[in-house]
Amino acid sequence: MANRKYFGTDGVRGKVGTYPITPDFALKLGWAAGKVLASQGSKTVLIGKDTRISGYMLESALEAGLAAAGLSAAFTGPMPTPAIAYLTRTFRAEAGIVISASHNPYYDNGIKFFSAQGTKLPDEIEEAIEAMLEQPMDCVESAELGKARRINDAAGRYIEFCKGTFPAHLGLEGYKIVVDCANGATYHIAPNVLRELGAEVIEIGTEPNGVNINEKCGATDVRVLQEKVLEVKADIGLAYDGDGDRIMMVDHLGNKVDGDQILFIIAREALRSGQLKGGVVGTLMSNMSLEIALKMLGVPFLRANVGDRYVLEKMQDNNWTLGGENSGHIIISDKNSTGDGIIASLAVLTAMVQHKLSLNELASAVKLFPQVLINVRFGGGENPLESEAVKAVAADVEKRLEGKGRILLRKSGTEPLIRVMVECQDGELAQQCAEEIAEAVKTN
């Protein structure tokens, strides 16, 4: 990734109106992507977006750039990121583009691409697009220009696809579910999926106005959902993020259930039904209690770097089909090619219905260890993690925590910070160890 100028781990991201999230750059990016992708057959690129106000501007600019390169655009309107991955495959498109900044505030936006297979673009294709961005923009002959059309049944197709992942012999009749769509891309999808499977659905965060996406709602802030679940005595609360690739849950007692617990519930259910292929991939931030709970089931567990891209890579390397992050990105790759909040929530609901157990009972197998995170600023220059004194303190703490906790020290990729994370069954011990290491980082 180091040699990229524009593409990060999740496409091109930034603040709207600040380069590169500007209409002129989106135009050029559409053209460059069109030039690189035009070698295939269908000459159509799907364009979906979340509910940010800037989505209108960016989709128009991308479409104009694609047209100049001779590719046609098919607009889906607001649609979850995983829906674009699915629809790109079913429409046999050259690629899919998602205009979204996921769980970020409305004033940010991003542009990311899916391959014809519904996976993130290979590095060499992203590099080819970046190289093309350096070339002067041209335009194909008038007769070769791309066209634009709207896919009217995109939502219905994706709703049916999601429902198809729920066992046909089960239903959600008798379940009361509160759904928080973060005023984002799932607002017209998730409630309908659940209703059509028989649930009674109470909606929050389903009135997007272009600027209220992720604002005090959704997967990044479940407080309103917790209150609502208790108020209406719901069986479960589901919170998606702005683009629908993350899920957080709330049980009937108002407790938050995070991505690690969700991942465990899905893994255990897949194991019981004979559908678990290999093991489970988490990340460096996955709670140790998840690792221990999976070990008790005899399920292998591997950690990838933070980021769903790295989780998926490690899943593919091992030919496994399940992975995820504690932030609620859950990838069930035999159901969809990317993290999918709706499909992950249906997998948990399947376990609830199948065994007549509450979310609270299912999640109780993973009692999350307290995690203490301290950010220590340093003066640039030398990396304190290379210091022998810091290494000695860290080694001493690791010895004390052996078998009952772990430490994670990493340098921030964006600012001069060292992130010190200590996780342990004993919260006080975790705090004490984290402070010791932070102090060593500060003074070295």
In angstroms, the CA 111 to CA 214 distance is: 18
Q: State how beta strands 405-411 and 280-283 pair.
A: unpaired
153 marked among binding-site residues: no
Phi, psi torsion values for 57, nearest 5 degrees: -65, -45
For 164, 225, 307, the CA distances from 90, given in Å and listed in that order, are: 15, 34, 26
Q: State how beta strands 44-49 and 280-283 pair.
A: unpaired
Both tokens of 383, joined, read 């990396």
In angstroms, the CA 69 to CA 41 distance is: 14
In angstroms, the CA 301 to CA 287 distance is: 12
Q: State how beta strands 200-204 and 176-180 pair.
A: parallel
Contacts with 39 (C-beta within 8 Å, 6 or more apart), sequence order: none
The helix (run of H) or strand (run of E) holding residue 162 is helix 154-163
In angstroms, the CA 295 to CA 256 distance is: 23
221 marked among binding-site residues: no
* Bridge partners of residue 371, in order along the sequence: 423
Both tokens of 422, joined, read 């200590």
CB atoms within 10 A of CB 368: 17
24 marked among binding-site residues: no
Radius of gyration of the chain (CA): 23
**Which member of 102, 289, 337, 345 is catalytic?**
102
Placement of tokens 């640039």 in the chain: 380
* Bridge partners of residue 419, in order along the sequence: 375, 410
387 marked among binding-site residues: no
Contacts with 215 (C-beta within 8 Å, 6 or more apart), sequence order: 105, 106, 183
Overall residue count recorded for the chain in this entry = 444
In angstroms, the CA 341 to CA 180 distance is: 12
Residue 333 annotated as catalytic: no
Residues annotated in a binding site for Mg(2+): 102, 241, 243, 245
Catalytic positions, written as ranges: 102
Per the annotation, where are the binding residues? 102, 241, 243, 245
